[in-house]
Amino acid sequence: MALLSEPLFILDYDNFMKRKLIRFSFTLSLGIFFGILISLPFTQVIFSKQNNPYSVIERKFKDMNQILYLVNQLYYQDVDMEDLMDGAFDGIMEKLDPPSVFISAKDQKNIDEMFQGEFQGIGIEFDILNKYITVIAPVVGGPSERAGILPGDWIIEIDGESAYNISRDDVFKKLRGKKGTKVDLKIGRSGTENFDIVIIRDDIPLYSVRASTMLNDEVGYTWLTRFSNKSGQEVRKSVEGLLNQGMKKLILDLRSNSGGILDQAAEVANIFITDRDTLVYTKGKNKNSEQVFMASPRKGNDNFSLIVLINRGSASASEIVAGAVQDLDRGLVLGETSFGKGSVQRQARLSDGSAIRLTIAQYFTPSGRQIQRPYDIENYEDYYRELYEEDRESKIDSLKKLRPPFKTKNGRVVYGGGGITPDHYIPWKLKIEESSRKLVSHPDRIMFNWSNIIASKSKLKSSQSFKKFKSSWSLDDIEFQNFISYVSKKDSKLNINEIKKDKEYFKTMIKSEVAGIIWSRDELWSIRTDLDNQVMQALDYFNNDKEFKLSLYKK
């Protein structure tokens, strides 16, 4: 999950790591220290200054060796020194910024699998925050997302056992498992009471583009859910396919896309830019960490109008793309203000297979905006809690006077210092009953199973095209009643009267499931977006082409 491909320099600790910890002594400590000094420029070593970093290293290595020696000799029971040292490394990185972390060898193996292959489990991107497993994002198309897990949820219990202070290694042991097995979780969510949920483990899909479909005769829709090694290639293929279907306008959906690889963000942005403009640049303490990504005109295409959708979960690489489109006036950015993660990490492998991921620079949009949202290193909880504030957008709007203004290519004013603020704010709205929510995320996939019955009975694929199905087919009232009877038999605890109140919602959901079963996930989302108020309102901005184009120029 490295954001830059160049390796970070790694000090040679091989001789040190091969020795047994029981033989730690002051002599060894000094030997290590001077070994480090040999690899550094002599002019940087100034022993006379107490605050010189290398003097601090000398003193603290002595303290560390004393601590390890005393623990090993005097602690009342045996200690796993590898775990102890990993904990020390964790502590070092915690004193930096949130994205800078130590990754144990076991965790690194899991991360490599996450970005390069397929595996089975519940499908979440997570971090350990406040000693709980905190969901950064459910893997799109995975079992956790189907069960209704949201970014920011935290796992309180796993199969009836407390998950407080759980190790990363135990997270993988307890949440991964064979396809078809289940895990019982107790979930905490800001603003609601803790609730239980059952997740059935499954294959975790690892594609970047979740859906690519035409919403009508002119508007295409591409949903990019993550930035991995082939994201640019996937998005380009999606756009070309939609253009072949007659697309004249595109909605690029980056909502809840938590980011990924930096150069792939530049690749995706370049798809829409036809001038040799700056797409993104980075600045850091070390000149080697500074980069400028320029657009290649031959890779770009501006033969269609563009809207980018973002929300509070859009971060990092997503913000690079949205920022480039906005700053270069290539299209409109709609939705909610993004997360505000504007730092670049470089991952360095260590000799035992572990790694550190270190923030080496911050990135800036073409106009010079810094995207990183300010944080208090002593209180990460507030950093994440802010995302859930209902009046977050009004606070952001009121803070514009305090945020630095910048100008886009055509002279529009945009603001830096805390995520990408959309050109037009569109809040997410979906009001369904509690029992309806439980039915949608039911571990037995009741709605999907019923839709499968409908699909197999109707033989729709052989009788008509998807286009005709979308425009003319609907679940009639008799079949809806049969669905209600089916639901009540499968789970008598669900409140049927509540579900009936959401009749039209479920008719559309079932229609989308049927389309997905008969055709593919692209057709599923072509229908399900009818329930998505942000997508539907984005279509309204396309309807008046003159107004759309005027909004991209200085007002």
Q: Which residues are catalytic?
A: 316, 327, 341
Contacts of 288 (CB under 8 A, 6+ apart): 6
What is the bridge-based pairing of β-strands 249-253 and 278-283?
A: unpaired
DSSP tag of 374: P
End-to-end Cα separation, the chain, in angstroms? 41
Closest CA to 278 of 372, 365, 405: 365
Reduced DSSP (H G I as helix, E B as strand, rest coil) percent helix, strand, coil of the chain, to 5:
45, 20, 40
Closest CA to 261 of 25, 543, 2, 515: 2
- Give 415's Cβ-side CA count (13 Å radius): 19
CB atoms within 10 A of CB 77: 4
| Type of residue at 132 | Y
**The token pair that represents 31 in the structure block:** 């030997």
364: left (phi over 0), alpha (psi -120 to 50) or beta: beta
Range list of H helices, 360-415: 380-385, 392-398
Question: Nearest 5°: CA angle at 285, between 279 and 287?
Answer: 65
CA distance 284 to 343: 10
Residue 416, H or E segment? none
Cβ proximity of 81 and 97 under 8 Å: no
Question: Nearest 5°: CA angle at 322, between 317 and 323?
Answer: 95
Contacts of 480 (CB under 8 A, 6+ apart): 503, 506, 507
Q: 451: helix, coil or strand? A: helix
CA distance 52 to 40: 14
